[in-house]
Chain A
Amino acid sequence: MKNITDIASSLDDESRIQNEPYSKDRSQIRGWAIDANSKNDPTFPMRQRHKESTKNHDWQRPSLQAVTTEVLHSNERPNLTATFGTASPPSGLSGTIRRFAFKYSEGKIIHWLALLLADRVNVLEGFGSDLRKGYAPNILKERGTKAAWKHNPDAVVKKVIIGVAILTSIAIILNRKQKKLACKNN
C-alpha cells in the first residue's frame, strides 16, 4: 500500500510538505479512541459503517462494460465506472465544448458552465439534425401548448402578447437604427 508521502509526491501539487506515513501504529498516540462512541454517528441511518470495512477500493469490481462509444469521465476518478449510459455521445461543437469541460474537475465552476453552454449549442444542433432528417419540429406541440391552452388559456394569451411586444420593440429599434444610419450616410 502506498503511504501518503508517495501519494503526495506523485501529485502535481505545489505543496511539498513531508508527511508521516498515515498507516502509523495508533497505539503510540496517547488517548487514541478513548471517547469513541458508535452511537454518536450523525451519518446514521444513511451509512451502516459498522457492518463493512471502509477501506478504499477493496471491492471486487463488476464486469466492465465494453466501450463502444465516446464516454467522457470526471477527472476526479481514474477510469470509467463498470457500467455507464451510452445515450447521445458527444458530437459536433457541443461535443468539443463538453470534452473541454471534462478537463476540469467537478469542483471548478468552468466545468459546469462549459457543460451548460454545450447544452445550449446542442439545442441548435438538434434543430439542424431534425431538418437534415427532413423533419420540421413542431415547437408548439413540443412545448405542450395544447394542454396549456386547454387548462390555462389566459397564460398562453399573456405569453403571446409578451412575445409579440418584445418582437415589435426589437423591430422598431432596428428600424430606427437603420434610419439613423441612412441619415448619416446621406
Chain B
Amino acid sequence: MLAMNYRGPGRVRADQKPMPEILHPEDAIVKVTRSCICGSDLHLYNGNVPDTRVGTTFGHEFTGVVTEIGSEVKKLQVGDHALVPFNIACGKCIFCRQGLFGNCHESNPQATAVGGIFGYSHTAGGYDGGQAEYVRVPYADVGPTVIPPGMDLDDAVLLTDVVPTGYQAAEMGGIQIGDTVVVFGAGPIGIMAAKCSWLFGAGRVIVIDELDYRLEFAKNYAQCEVYNFRSMKDPVLFIKKITDYLGADVCIDAVGAEATGSAIQSITGRKLLLQAGSPTALSWAINSVKKGGVVSIVGVYGPTGNFIPIGNVLNKGITIRANQASVKRLLPKLIEHVQNGILEPKKLITHRIPLEEVADAYRIFSDKLDECIKPVLITSPINHSSTEQRETHHEKYH
C-alpha cells in the first residue's frame, strides 16, 4: 500500500509499505478516505520530537472505511465509514473513565506523560498514522465513530482533531459571559478556538498572528478582531492598550513549539533545541492575560522544558489549563454543532493533494505557501456526491 514515509528533518516521501495487520483483538483495519496534515505534524517533520524514527508514517487526522476487525470488536463493523479521533484510548483505565481520552494509560508504553496518538513518533506510542491507504486502529470500539449519514467527509475529518481541539481550548479557558478572549495563532486550531469562544459567551474575541491571509480568513470565519504582531513593536503592550490596560480575561496558546516572533526563543527553541520548542506565544499569553485570568494551552510542546515567565504566573495568580483534546468526550456535542450549521469546519480546507505528492503537501503547509490553511491528502476517492462536487470546485492545487 502507499504510505507517507519519514526520512529525516524536512524529508518525506510516498512509498510502498506492507499492509497493516490486526495485532490486538480490539484492532480494526481502516481504508483511509481523507487524511489531513496538522500543524503539530510540522514538529515531527522538522525533527523536533524525540524518537521520531525514520520509516514511520505520520497522520492523526483521518476518516476511513473499516475493512477488517479483531475478535473482540463488538460495535464497529466492516464497511462502516468512521472518523477516528487522534487519541488512542482504551476506554477502561482511570483516565479514560474520567473522560480524559487524550491521557489513556494503556496506549503508549514509551512515555507516561502522553497517551497514544496515531502517527506521532514513538514518544506517542510508535503507531503508524493515517497518511496512508490503510491504517491499523487500536481500540476500535472506543474512539472510532461512524460518520452520520449526510455528513461531508471534509467536515468529518476535521472532527478528529481541529474542531475538538479548538473547542476544548475555549472550554478550558473557562470563558464567562462577556469575557475578552485573545487567541494566539490563526492556524486551523486558533481559528476554531476563536469561533468556539463565542459559543461560551465571549464578549470580545481577538486573534493575533503574523500572516495577513490567515488573519483575513479568521476575521471572516470567526467574526473576530484580528491583528498582525509584525505590525506592532510589542504584542503584549498592544493587548494591554486595547483592554483598558488590564489584559484579557482568557488567553489561548494555539501555536505551540513552532512559534515565531522572538529571535531568542526561535534560536534556542527551534534551531538549537536547547528548549522544547519556542514558547513565544505562551509567554505572550501569560504576560497579556489579566491578573487572576486563565491561560489555556493547546499548542504542542516537546517533553523537556521551556523558558516561560513562570514568576508572572505566580504573581498574577494565573490559572493555566492545558491538555490534548479529549476528542471522544466532545464528539457527540460537536457532531451536533456541525449538523446544525453552528460550526462549518470544511471551510478551513484550502488544499486537496493526492497522497503521492505528500512531500509537496508538507512543503506548502510548512512554508505557508499558496495561502494554505489546511491541506487534506486524498488517498482513495469514494462515492460521496457532495464531496466529489467540492473536489472539482475547490481543487486549488491541481
User: Is B79 positioned at the interface, with any CB of A under 8 Å from its CB?
Assistant: no
In the complex, A79 Cα to B109 Cα: how many Å?
Answer: 8
Instruction: From known contacts A46-B321, A59-B97, A88-B126, infer whether A123 and B109 are also in contact, taking CB-CB under 8 Å.
Output: no
A147–B107 CB distance below 8 A: no
Q: Which of A2-10, A28-36, A61-69, A170-178 contacts B (4 or more CB under 8 A)?
A: A61-69
Q: How far is the CB of B360 from chain A (nearest CB, A)?
A: 4
Interface size on B, residues (CB 8 A): 71
For A106, list chain B residues within 8 Å (CB).
111-113, 303
Looking at the complex, which one of B56, B112, B303, B370 makes contact with A88 (CB distance below 8 Å)? B56
For B24, list chain A residues within 8 Å (CB).
62-63, 65, 82-83
Q: How far is the CB of A80 from chain B (nearest CB, A)?
A: 4
Q: Which of B44-52, B178-186, B208-216, B236-244 contacts A (4 or more CB under 8 A)?
A: B44-52
B55–A116 CB distance below 8 A: no
B108–A63 CB distance below 8 A: no
User: Is A132 positioned at the interface, with any CB of B under 8 Å from its CB?
Assistant: no
Instruction: From known contacts A73-B109, A81-B105, infer whether A63 and B363 are also in contact, taking CB-CB under 8 Å.
Output: no
Looking at the complex, which one of B47, B126, B139, B302 makes contact with A85 (CB distance below 8 Å)? B126
For B54, list chain A residues within 8 Å (CB).
88, 119, 122-123, 125-126
Query: Which residue from chain A places its CB closest to the CB of B54 in the assembled complex?
Result: A126
B8–A85 CB distance below 8 A: no
For A58, list chain B residues within 8 Å (CB).
94
For A158, list chain B residues within 8 Å (CB).
none
B369–A148 CB distance below 8 A: yes
For B116, list chain A residues within 8 Å (CB).
81, 83-85
Looking at the complex, which one of B55, B106, B128, B363 makes contact with A143 (CB distance below 8 Å)? B363
For B321, list chain A residues within 8 Å (CB).
42, 46
Q: Which of B9-17, B28-36, B191-199, B386-394 contacts A (4 or more CB under 8 A)?
A: B9-17
In the complex, A125 Cα to B367 Cα: how many Å?
Answer: 27
Instruction: From known contacts A71-B109, A74-B109, infer whether A147 and B364 are also in contact, taking CB-CB under 8 Å.
Output: yes
Instruction: From known contacts A74-B109, A76-B112, infer whether A147 and B92 are also in contact, taking CB-CB under 8 Å.
Output: no
For B68, list chain A residues within 8 Å (CB).
none
A83–B319 CB distance below 8 A: no
Q: How far is the CB of A30 from chain B (nearest CB, A)?
A: 29
Query: Which residue from chain B places its CB closest to the CB of A148 in the assembled complex?
Result: B363
User: Is A26 positioned at the interface, with any CB of B under 8 Å from its CB?
Assistant: no
**Which residues 18-71 of B sit at the A interface, judged by CB distance below 8 A?**
23-27, 47, 50-57
B11–A85 CB distance below 8 A: no
In the complex, A44 Cα to B6 Cα: how many Å?
Answer: 38
User: Is A185 positioned at the interface, with any CB of B under 8 Å from its CB?
Assistant: no
User: Is A163 positioned at the interface, with any CB of B under 8 Å from its CB?
Assistant: no
B13–A141 CB distance below 8 A: yes
User: Is A142 positioned at the interface, with any CB of B under 8 Å from its CB?
Assistant: yes
User: Is B362 positioned at the interface, with any CB of A under 8 Å from its CB?
Assistant: yes
Instruction: From known contacts A62-B92, A84-B108, A143-B11, infer whether A98 and B128 are also in contact, taking CB-CB under 8 Å.
Output: no
Looking at the complex, which one of A47, A123, A125, A142 makes contact with B359 (CB distance below 8 Å)? A142
Instruction: From known contacts A144-B364, A148-B369, infer whether A45 and B97 are also in contact, taking CB-CB under 8 Å.
Output: no
For B53, list chain A residues within 8 Å (CB).
87-88, 90, 94, 119, 122
**Which residues 44-63 of A sit at the B interface, judged by CB distance below 8 A?**
45-49, 51-52, 54-63
> 13 pairs across A/B with beta carbons < 8 Å?
A42-B321, A45-B171, A46-B321, A81-B108, A82-B24, A83-B106, A101-B51, A102-B110, A112-B50, A112-B304, A122-B53, A142-B359, A144-B363
What is A's interface to B at a CB cutoff of 8 Å? 42, 45-49, 51-52, 54-63, 65-66, 68, 71-74, 76-77, 79-88, 90, 94, 98, 101-102, 106, 109, 112, 115-116, 118-120, 122-123, 125-126, 130, 137-139, 141-148, 151-152, 155
Other than A83-B24, A142-B11, give 16 A-B pairs with Cβ distance below 8 A.
Answer: A42-B319, A52-B97, A61-B92, A61-B106, A62-B90, A72-B109, A77-B109, A81-B109, A83-B107, A94-B53, A115-B50, A137-B13, A138-B13, A143-B363, A146-B360, A147-B363
What is B's interface to A at a CB cutoff of 8 Å? 7-13, 23-27, 47, 50-57, 72, 88, 90, 92-94, 97-100, 105-113, 116, 122-123, 125-128, 138-139, 171-172, 273, 302-305, 319, 321, 323, 326, 357, 359-364, 366-367, 369-370
